[in-house]
Structure 1
Amino acid sequence: MFIRRALRLALSVGLCLNLSLASPLDVGELGLQAERRADTGLVGYLGAIFLGADPYVYFYLSNGNDPLSFKALNKGQPILRPTKGTGGVRDPYLVQGGGNEAGKKWYIIGTDLNIGKTSWDAAQRTGSRGIFVWDSTDLVNFGNERLVNVEDSTAGMVWAPEAIWDAAKDYAPTNIIDLDILPLDTEGKNYLRFMKDESAKTVFVEYSTTGLFGSWTRAGGSKGTIASGVEGPAAYRDNKDDAKIHVLLDFYGGDGYRPYESTDPKGNKWTASSRSGFPSNLRHGSILPINQTLYDSLSKKFGS
């Protein structure tokens, strides 16, 4: 594993590698069980985001335990500015350490791309060959910046890396653009995965009750989608409602992230959430539920 092989993360990186998806099954064939997790220990949410053409990492903290209301930290200034590669980072993804690092280590990974210094054609053909990595022991102070090349000089489009801890497996690459995996238990059996169909420009969801490398079912059947003209799904569970799942979808041709929610993701029943407290123009990133200690530390360090 390029972050640390000891992490044993199942990587989902936005470049075309080899993984064949399971054939869609009948939606009713599998039961999806979400482990009870709503408790007072989780008191808020942290978002790592980039803003439009501004390729740096920004932190957004929820207003209390509201999953749909966020405020900019650090007076709206970036918390990370890359010094390597193109000097820009997009699609930041927060990764929680697992195993012995659980609750002790966090990572931010992201795309090496400052489009102001290149062109989309160049980035797709021979640019964006590496992944930015930073780490932290408190979720507040990130350092140890490195840019890890995972492609040679003839390739490009190493975009939107994401990672998830898999206690039983070493990491495995996929070929699905903008893949976001959401665990629903601590036993490694029940998962949701959100991904973009690059041809149709839609985001859809699949679920598994047999682990990361088991059988996956597309919610809503083979044509089931959540929305079109979107990318960069960022999914997270509600801290107060066991049954509720949130996902942010990046309307890349419009105003960026918009929130959606569901209490029946298996049935592909999604509704647009209220945006009264949700910031505009946020782009492809990630959301992490956090406890009181982390919430207070972030507020103290960065303010608003």
Structure 2
Amino acid sequence: MRFLLSIVALITTTLTAPHEPIQSLDFSSYGLTSRADPSLTRYLGVFFLGDKPSVYFYLSNGNNAISLKALNKGTPVINPTKGTQGVRDPSIIAGGGAEAGKKWYIIGTDLNIGKTTWDASQRTGSRGIFVWESTDLVNWTNERLVVVEDETAGMVWAPAAVWDAAKAQYAVLWASKFYAASDSKHTGSPSAIRIRTAYTSDFKTFSAPKDYINYSPTNIIDIDVLPLGNNAYARFLKDESAKTVFMEVSTTGLFGTWSRPGGNNAIIEKGVEGPASYWDNQVDGKAHLLLDFYGSDGYHPYNSADVKGGKWSASDRGAFPKNLRHGSVLPVTDAQATAVSAKWPA
């Protein structure tokens, strides 16, 4: 029945969008898929918990994309030892290219807000990205803090990454604001916050950063990218000025032309941040999106059967834990889930 409903939905979408070319989707280069995949049977999530800036692991209950349980008895799996000794906004990244299925990375923001203020963290905050790596999703090693911006940057926040098959490298994205070179103490007025990008093959050496999104005077933070196949992508962004999350779509690559489904004022939700997107393991073309209600009880799940069209609706939150903050979710195999839960039991 699910298969038949998926076919009906596909036919309906095709008939109602005559100007949209039908594309053959191939996600093999990304370690992600929009198609139901019987080899993927669980979901592994990494998050931080508000005033607890460490990396917490959560594993799905069976193959339910929005039912999670805490691992390691609810205590952190990763506690940072470098920089501010606090990590926020962890993102788990599947290896691409030759590293596909062999390597994973967790990256995050170097920020322990308990040791600073929000103003200071944006003026003279960390200019580095936390990195951990693993060959089995169980053991996370080689902690490092890699500086990616020069001294004119006030901070580096919420790093994310996506495998760019065209360049055979990871495109890393983050948010920064900048001060005049003459303002060495960053006491003056900064630029608007914009999204920056650099490429890396190993999360050790990065290319020179450059602007990726500059919507000045609007402040943009918290980017997340979902590959759609055939060089198409969806990206999710927080308008820090308006405190909303919206999405854009490109069918011409990461550096192609982006449009906002529903128009320039369309949003997914207000009063949220930290978008985290991932495909469903069982339902063709279905995606999930977590949005962090930062002023309330953390992540709420949303879902879409039409990502490119930007149509999202709230999911049942009954089995989703409260107070999870900005993180990410990775579909995994049963063997991977078993190994992780054996090392870090619930």
Which TM-score applies when normalising by structure 1? 0.86
Structure 2 spans left out of the alignment, 5+ residues:
1-16, 27-33, 173-196, 198-211, 214-219
- 1:144 is aligned, of 130, 142, 145, to 142
Distance in 2 between the 1:193 and 1:58 partners?
25
The equivalent position to 2:284 in structure 1, one of 237, 242, 258, is 242
**Match 2:162 to one of 164, 170, 174:** 164
Q: Which residue number corresponds to residue 227 of structure 2? A: 183
**Alignment partner for residue 72 of structure 1, among 49, 70, 74?**
70
Displacement of 1:153: 4.4
1:45 matched to which residue of 2? 43
Q: Please provide the CA RMSD for this pair.
A: 1.8
Tell me which residue corresponds to 1:251: 293
**Corresponding letter in the other structure for 2:132:** W
Match of residue 100, structure 2, among 88, 99, 102: 102
Q: Does 1:302 align with 2:344?
A: yes
2: distance between equivalents of 1:219 and 1:51? Answer: 32
Look up the match of 1:5.
Answer: none
**Gap change, CA 1:222 and 1:198, over 3 Å in 2:** same
| Superposed CA offset, 1:195-224 (max 9, x none) | 111111111111222222222221111111
User: What are the superposed Cα offsets for residues 225-271 of structure 1, whole Å, 9 maximum, x if unpaired?
Assistant: 10001111000011111121110001111111100111123333211
Is the 1:138–1:294 Cα contact (8 Å) retained in structure 2?
yes
What whole-Å deviation, never above 9, does each CA across 1:152-188 have from its counterpart, x for those lacking one?
4453221100000001125471245211111123x5x
- Asked whether the 8 Å contact 1:96–1:103 carries over to 2, the reply is yes
The structure whose RCO (Cα within 8 Å, separation 6+) is larger is 1
Match of 1:86 among 84, 87, 98: 84
2:30 maps to none
Work out the CA distance in 2 between the residues paired with 1:230 and 1:77: 25
TM-score (norm 2): 0.76
Query: 1: CA distance between counterparts of 2:331 and 2:141?
Result: 21
Alpha-carbon contact 1:32-1:266 (below 8 Å) kept: no
Partner secondary structure for residue 340 of structure 2: helix
Cα separation, 1, equivalents of 2:20 and 2:272: 27
CA pair 78-150 structure 1, distance change in 2 beyond 3 A = same
User: 2: CA distance between counterparts of 1:32 and 1:226?
Assistant: 25
1:218-233 equivalences in 2 (<5 Å): 218-233=260-275
Relative to structure 1, the CA distance from residue 248 to residue 137 in structure 2 (aligned partners, 3 Å threshold; closer, same or farther) is same
> Given that residues 35 and 285 in structure 2 are in contact (C-alpha distance below 8 angstroms), is that contact kept between their aligned partners in structure 1?
no
Q: Are 1:219 and 1:265, in contact at CA under 8 Å, matched by a contact in 2? A: no
Distance 1:267 1:144, change over 3 A: same
Deviation of 1:296 after TM superposition, in Å, equals 1.0
Structure index of larger Rg = 2
Identity of aligned residues (%): 64
Q: Can you list the C-alpha shifts for 1:99-132, whole angstroms capped at 9, x where unaligned? A: 1100000000000001111111110100122110
Identify the residue that residue 271 of structure 1 maps to in structure 2. 313
State the number of aligned residues: 276
Structure 1 residue 138 displacement after superposition: 0.4
Give the letter aligned to residue 330 of structure 2.
L
**What SS class does the counterpart of residue 235 from structure 1 fall into?**
strand
1:79 deviation in Å? 0.4
Query: Which piece of structure 1 moves more, 267-276 or 51-60?
Result: 267-276
